[in-house]
Structures are given as C-alpha cells and as structure tokens.
Chain A
C-alpha cells in the first residue's frame, strides 16, 4: 500500500528502540525517586525512634519534679505550721532547681547541636561565679552534709569571658561532684593561675571513675552509675554540655580520678576570650587574596 511505503523495518525498530529508551529513562527516574523515598522513610523511622526514646526518658525527668512541685505547693498553702511550711518550701526550691537545671542542659545541648552559638565576653570574677553556684547548690549539698570549700585569692580571679557559659559549665561539674561525693563532707574548689590561663579544680572524694571509662563520661545520655544513686537524676547531658561549652570559650577540661578515692575536674580557661578583636576591617591588609 502507498500509505505504508515509508514505514520500513528499520524505521519501526528505531521507533521501538526510542520508546524503549524513553521507558527505561522513566523507570530509572522512578527507581531514583523510590530510593529517595526509601531513604527518607528510613530516616523518619530512625528519627521517630530517637524521639520516642528521648521523650519516654524525659517524661519521667520532667513529670516527677513537676508533680512534686504541685504537691509541695498544695501542702504549703494548706499547712498551719510555719516549720512545716519552711521545710516543704526548701523541698520545693530543690525540685524547682533540678527542673530548671535539666531544662537548661537540654536547651544548651540543642543550641550546641544546632551550631548557632556565639560568645558574649565581659569582665568577670570566676571566684564570684563559683560562690554563686555553690550558694545555689547549697540545699542539695546539705542533704548529703557536704559543704564547698573555696581555695582562691579573689583578686586574682578576674577574667574576660562568657558568664552564662561559665555558669552552665560549673553548675554541671559541681552538681556532678555532689552526686558522687561520699567519703568526705566537703567538695574543694581551687582556683590558680599560670601565664595567660586560669585553672579551676573541682575535687570530690567519691567513687571515682575507672580509667577505662574516663573517655565515656562526656558522652551524651551516658550514665556510668545508673543503679547506684537515687539522686542520679538527669539525662547524662550535663558533662557533655560542660565539655562543649568549655571548648566554645576556648578552654579545656582535664580529669584525674582514682576509684574509691575521688575525682578532680580541672577546667583550664584563658584569662581573656575576645573574639571582637578578630573582627576587623582587615580585608584591605597586605597579603589578602580573593577567592
């Protein structure tokens, strides 16, 4: 037939090949899309598992202190006895402080993990910071008959650094020292300086850390003594947060520990951390290259 004259076998094969190629291309695209969906699904499952694990742990840590706070507040509001009120108010303070402490650690961890962290340095006295944290933890320490002994010369404790980060670092280290102190009625805080650094040592006389476990103590969610202490609250975030914040203010934490004798955390801090000095209009300096 005239109509079919141009449709040769070669033409048909070519057309068929093009259609196959087109179909294969679509199949490949679908496979890529499918793989992406599988990856996404895997990530969502992992993320959901982590979230539910975190939430199930957190619910106890938050709900328990909250329940105590509500119960204690009710007792205080109904109690006719001033002594009883005073005692319960102290409990109330302690529960609220623990809750505040836990929230702060969670928010610090979230901020550090997001990478949105900067530095606000000001003139400070590290002695005053330690003293105010020791006061804050006084009730918790008193429950275990522990007092803080500060060995330092206050006028040699001035630094230029970030107050909020220092408070978070030392609240965690001091809280940890109280939790694990057991062989003594004191925790020693010692401040010394050498060159351009200040060294703050926090010494407890507690259970100590096995040398093979020392590297684990800064791990997030890691608690080395899960079953031993009833006051071992927290998510194991504290020392991980303390370590990272110390690095942000350009310091380091060193640990020395002997099992059943105690642990010494030494925080080494530069006397001055001033990032503003680094921001200059140095783009026109000699030796600058453009990329």
Chain B
C-alpha cells in the first residue's frame, strides 16, 4: 500500500496541495471547511477559530470569512473551477465551560461557513457540527473522505 504524505493543520492555517495528503486537525469550537475538486480529484482544508475579521490584528485565515475565500482562491490558483467544488463541514462545538458569548463562537463559526458556501454556490454535501465535544478529523485529500472521531468521551448533544 502506498504511504500517503501526512500534514498537521494548525488553527488559523489552511492547506492545499495537488499531491494526495492525509491532513489531520483537532477541532473544538473551531470549524474546518474541507473542499474537494471533483474534476481534478484533489482537495484543500482550512481551520478557522473565529467567524469574522473585525479589521483588527492580521487579516489571517484565523477568521472564517477570510479562511473560506482564501481556500477557494488557493484552489482556483491550482486550476480548480468553482462549479466542480463540493464542501464538507466539521466542528463548531460549544466545548468551553463559560459564558454564552464563548458558547456562541462555535455556532457563529458554523453559520459563517454555511452562509459563505451558500453565497458562493458551493454545495455542502456532508457535515458533522455543533454539540459539545471536540473532534479529530483526518482528511484524505485524494478522494475527499473524512475520518471523523469525537474526543473526550461519549457522543452527547450532537446532531
């Protein structure tokens, strides 16, 4: 069996490559959008922490609005066309014990991802979001499959 390259995606980062990779990332209230190009058979993924860039700090893909557009731009640069992209969405849990404001971050992250994908006409083909458990996902960028596992106990409050 051919050994595939691996990559660990940090929060606030994104990864796009035409070369097949197994990309691992850990999500709490953060959200990962996994895009797959059905025509060119490769994918890209981001991992954002907050919904929108407020204009303060660096305009990095730590913010959902920037992360999704940057991911699409990277894939377009590698030859993808938007009409061949499909999306899968993960994360956005309310894992922090705390105020309603921090609990809302996960939900706001999910909302910004869905809204942005919808406005760009990119179909959301599958998802596992919300709840109150963290997740580990491994994205096989060669075929678009996501291996998803909850972290820290039984599944509760999901779906």
Interface residues of A (CB under 8 A from B): 109, 112-119, 215-216, 218-220, 240-241, 243-244, 247-248, 275-276, 278-280, 282-283, 285, 287-291
Contact = CB atoms under 8 A, between A and B. Distances in A.
Contacts of A290: 145-148
B8 A240 contact: no
A291 B12 contact: no
Contacts of A278: 8, 24, 26, 136
Interface in B111-159: 126-128, 136, 138, 145-150
Given A115-B60, A278-B26, A244 B12 contact: yes
A115 B145 contact: no
Nearest to A287: B149
Interface string B54-93: 0011111110000100100000000000000000101000
Q: Is the interface of B mostly helix, strand, loop or mixed?
A: strand
B29 interface: no
A236 to B, nearest CB: 11
B123 to A, nearest CB: 14
Contacts of B107: none
Nearest to B8: A275
A116 B58 contact: no
B102 interface: no
B147 A240 contact: no
B58 A248 contact: no
Given A283-B138, A288-B147, A291-B88, 17 more contacts: A113-B59, A113-B60, A115-B46, A117-B13, A118-B13, A218-B57, A219-B56, A219-B57, A240-B58, A276-B8, A278-B8, A280-B24, A282-B136, A282-B147, A290-B145, A290-B148, A291-B148
A114 B13 CA distance: 8
B28 to A, nearest CB: 12
B6 interface: yes
B41 interface: no
